[in-house]
């Protein structure tokens, strides 16, 4: 688990629950300069160390980092990082996995609602059919695992595609419920917009990685 420098490792925290849209607004850090330096060092250690290990057990431990440390601990280190940076991209991958595993059934409902209208993104996301709670859970773990044992840019692109399908599903359901449940529909539409922005950030990070510019 401790594949980052010991001096940069966050202290263990009790895991705290996050809703699927909470991670976008999570504040992290006190001293911006120190947090930024620690965030980049830890992100490099995690990504490059994990990718160089070729050890499935190491990959599993990295995927479950938030389960052990708590998403709050990761947020303290990475949430304030620029979206299109290595720590910012990692934060989004971990936060999306945590949000998905917290409510796989609910996320699967949104995914099914969006997949027919976002067929290209659906194909990139790579969720098994039919996309129920179990398939969504497997996909969330596989995407984050791919960041350490596959192509990092592909993991970012898959996560972005997943966000786009879920966002489209949220927007679709919001439209259907607007007349009877206006307030809920409005909140769902806002979450959809947040996920689209997250998808754009992940796509930008993937492009930067391919260009050797993601740090």
Residue 184 covered by a domain = yes
The span from the CA of 144 to the CA of 160, in Å, is 12
DSSP 27-82: ---SSHHHHHHHHHHHHHHHHHHHHHH--HHHHHHHHTHHHHH-HHHHHHHHTTS-
Residue 73 covered by a domain = yes
Residue 204 covered by a domain = yes
pLDDT on residue 5: 40
Q: Is 192 helix (H, G, I), strand (E, B) or coil?
A: helix
The span from the CA of 28 to the CA of 73, in Å, is 9
Q: Which two tokens stand for residue 16?
A: 């705290």
Residue 150 covered by a domain = yes
Residue 113 covered by a domain = yes
Residue 86 covered by a domain = yes
Distances (CA, A) of 21 to 43, 92, 122: 23, 11, 20
Residue 103 covered by a domain = yes
* Total domains in the fold of the chain: 1
Residue 3 covered by a domain = no
Q: Please list the pLDDT of the chain residue by residue as tens digits (215 residues).
A: 344 444 444 444 444 444 444 444 444 445 677 778 888 999 999 998 888 888 899 999 999 999 988 888 888 889 989 999 999 999 999 999 999 999 999 999 999 999 988 888 888 888 888 899 999 999 999 999 999 998 999 999 999 999 999 999 999 999 999 888 889 899 999 999 999 999 999 999 999 999 999 98
Q: How many CB atoms lie within 10 A of CB 110?
A: 25
pLDDT on residue 31: 63
pTM for this predicted structure: 0.81
Expressed as residue numbers, the domain containing 186 is: 31-210
pLDDT on residue 124: 87
The span from the CA of 99 to the CA of 159, in Å, is 13
pLDDT on residue 87: 95
């Amino acid at each position: 688990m401790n594949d980052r420098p010991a001096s940069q490792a966050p202290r263990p925290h009790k895991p705290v629950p996050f809703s699927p849209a909470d991670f976008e607004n999570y504040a992290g850090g006190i001293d911006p300069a120190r947090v930024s330096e620690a965030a980049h060092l830890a992100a490099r250690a995690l990504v490059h160390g994990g990718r160089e290990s070729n050890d499935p057990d190491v990959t599993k431990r990295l995927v479950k980092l938030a389960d052990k440390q708590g998403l709050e601990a990761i947020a303290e280190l990475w949430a304030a990082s620029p979206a299109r940076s290595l720590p910012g991209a990692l934060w989004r991958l971990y936060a999306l996995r945590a949000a998905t595993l917290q409510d796989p059934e609910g996320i699967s409902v949104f995914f099914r609602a969006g997949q027919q209208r976002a067929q290209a993104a659906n194909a990139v996301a790579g969720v098994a059919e039919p996309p129920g709670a179990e398939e969504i859970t497997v996909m969330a773990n596989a995407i984050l695992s791919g960041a350490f044992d596959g192509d990092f840019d592909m993991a970012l692109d898959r996560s972005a595609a997943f966000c786009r399908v879920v966002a489209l599903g949220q927007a679709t359901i919001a439209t259907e419920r607007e007349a009877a449940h206006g307030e809920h529909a409005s909140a769902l539409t806002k979450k959809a917009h947040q996920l689209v922005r997250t998808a754009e950030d992940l796509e930008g990070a993937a492009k930067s990685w391919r260009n050797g510019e993601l740090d």
